[in-house]
Amino acid sequence: MTRLPFQIAAMCVATLLTAAIAHSAEDAPLSYPETRRDDQVDEYHGVKVADPYRWLEDDPRNSPEVADWIAAENKVTRAYLDAIPELPQIRERLARLWNYERYSAPWQVAGRYFYQKNDGLQNQAVLYVADGFAADGRVLIDPNKWSEDGTIAMGQIQVSEDGRLLAYARQEAGSDWSTIRVVEVESGREPPDELKWARHGNIVWNVEGDGFFYARYPEPPEGEQFQALSLNQMIYFHRLGEPQTKDRLVFRQPDNPTWSFWLSRTDDNQYLVLTISRSTDPQNQVLVRRVDAAKDAPWTTLIGDFENEFGFIGNLGTRMFFQTDLDASTKRVVAMDLERPGRENVEEVVGAVRDTLSGVSLIDGKLILQYLKDVTARVELFTSEGDPLGELALPGVGTADGFGGKQFDKETFYTFTSYTTPPSIYRFDLTTAKTERIRTPKIAFDPELYETKQVFTTSKDGTRVPMIIAHRRG
């Protein structure tokens, strides 16, 4: 969920702190606690790299030395900040700027609309469900009730195809370990299903809505949950009502323990698409299998190497669309037929341009391409054959996020924000090509008093450099 105008709050805080700290500039220099250095050295490709502070990576819950170091550092910081006379005013001003309602763009499943909302100063956004895209919804899940300190967050959310059930991930204290639970959308009741040790993967419901695929890792040894490496990821299928011990293994690569997997299902419910990565680099393999294939049926390899990024967009029949950097540093859209797999058989749909392609959606048979042009958003529409349909006019110079939806939807939603525009929600009708604003938060200042504009300057080597200037009008 977009959390802006963070830039506005950040600029205000920076200005206030700069002025306040100037009063303390002549104070005695800070005396930081001593930090131990050890002799840790690692060798990478024949080069020795010293890492004397490796011990600080230990979990403070298990390392008294790290816990003491954190406490000592916080004590110094707290003493310095508390000595700033203007700190209460800074805190109050920041709270007023930050205390506004923030909405995510809604998404529609089986006639219901889901969205997240933060009232202003809540630790976690609340999940709502509504009967219309602009209607006030009812609370479905409130993560703020999970703990007193608000440190249990809701991660991934996936709704079943019929809209009856929702699977979600819970993450505690900033950990990327997830526990997956299920909730009935109509009643809010939670069945006893609870799946542990999920991490870095996608939840994918089956067509029938009686189970879902998920990614998990082996259970780490007791007390080592936060030191355990992300090794030996596996894809499992969970049938609702059954214990996790009965979940069916779907895919793994024991000979390649560092590889990770991302599973998705095509909107026409015909295929499972598996993306395989071997590191945090974007290069990946792509495998595909029919949804109704036998449990032990082989996967068809579409891309079998790690030379390029192939981000799956969607499909129209056996024609699969990808966002790729193959022969395109700023990325382009290509298609591949399942009958002719392999990088040598990709066909270009939308070629690369100077602007960087940051995201693509396939909705209502149309491709929605999100570009980053001179650090600002630009959105363009194409047919599935690559014929241009024109640009989507954005409200101004800023950032646009969203444009989610399924292949058969007739609408999509996005959030637009800038340095002077709070995050507002827009609906784009793909049939009429009309845009309407459906939500604008009320904030503690008048954005009409300010303006944002883009200017360009030329650096010493002749490079054209874009700049965004936000200032009071006049």
Q: What is the pLDDT along the chain (474 residues), one digit of tens a residue?
A: 444 444 555 555 555 555 555 555 456 678 899 999 999 999 999 999 999 999 999 988 889 999 999 999 999 999 999 999 999 999 999 888 889 999 999 999 999 999 999 999 899 999 999 999 989 999 999 999 999 999 999 999 999 999 999 999 999 988 889 999 999 999 999 999 999 999 989 999 999 999 999 999 999 988 778 778 889 999 999 999 999 999 999 999 999 999 999 999 999 999 999 999 998 899 999 999 999 999 889 999 999 999 999 999 999 999 999 999 999 999 999 999 999 999 999 999 999 999 999 999 999 999 999 999 999 999 999 999 999 999 999 998 899 999 999 999 999 999 999 988 889 999 999 999 999 999 999 888 888 898 888 999 999 999 999 999 989 998
Residues 62 and 139 in one domain: no
For residue 452 the two structure tokens come to 């944002």
Range of the domain at 166: 103-265
89 and 158, same structural domain? no
Per the structure block, which two tokens stand in for 26?
């002549």
Q: Taking a C-beta distance cutoff of 8 angstroms, is the pair 318, 367 a contact?
A: no
In a domain, 351, yes or no: no
Residue-wise pLDDT for 193-230, tens only, equals 999 999 989 999 999 999 999 999 999 988 778 778 88
Q: What are phi and psi for residue 357, nearest 5 degrees?
A: -80, 115
d(CA 314, CA 367): 10
Helix (H) or strand (E) holding 359: strand 356-363
| Domains in the chain, number | 2
Residue where a domain terminates, one of 215, 244, 265 = 265
Last residue of a domain, one of 81, 96, 111: 96
Has residue 418 been placed in a domain?
no
Residues 75 and 210 in one domain: no
Structure confidence by residue, pLDDT tens digits, 92-136: 998 888 899 999 999 999 999 999 999 998 999 999 999 999 899
Same domain as 77, residue 178: no
Q: Are residues 130 and 226 in the same domain?
A: yes
Domain-terminating residue out of 52, 73, 96:
96
**147 lies in the same domain as 61:** no
The verdict on 159 and 246 lying in the same domain is: yes
- Quick one: which of 336, 331, 298 has its CA closest to 316? 336
DSSP 154-173: EEEEEE-TTSSEEEEEEEET
Q: What angle do helix axes 6-22 and 87-98 make, rounded to 10 degrees?
A: 170
pLDDT value of position 1: 40
- Least Cα distance to 143 among 124, 159, 157 occurs for 124
Q: Phi and psi (nearest 5°) for 120?
A: 150, -60
Residue 93 region, left (φ>0) first, then alpha (ψ -120 to 50), else beta? Answer: alpha
**Residues 137 and 14 occupy one common structural domain:** no
User: Is there a single domain that holds both residue 91 and residue 110?
Assistant: no
Do 75 and 112 lie in one domain? The reply is no
Structure tokens at 259: 């590889």
What radius of gyration do the chain's Cα atoms show? 25
Any residues with CB less than 8 A from the CB of 45 and at least 6 apart, and which?
Answer: none
| Residue 117 belongs to a domain | yes
Quick check: helix, strand or coil at residue 144?
A: helix
User: Which pair of tokens denotes residue 96?
Assistant: 């007023």
Judge contact between 199 and 230, C-beta under 8 A: yes
What ranges in 26-152 are assigned the alpha helix state H?
64-82, 87-98
Encode 245-280: b = buried (16+ Cβ within 10 Å), e = exposed.
Answer: eebeebbeeeeeeebbbbbebbbeebbbbbbbbeee
What is the rounded distance in angstroms from the CA atom of residue 320 to the CA atom of residue 310? 11
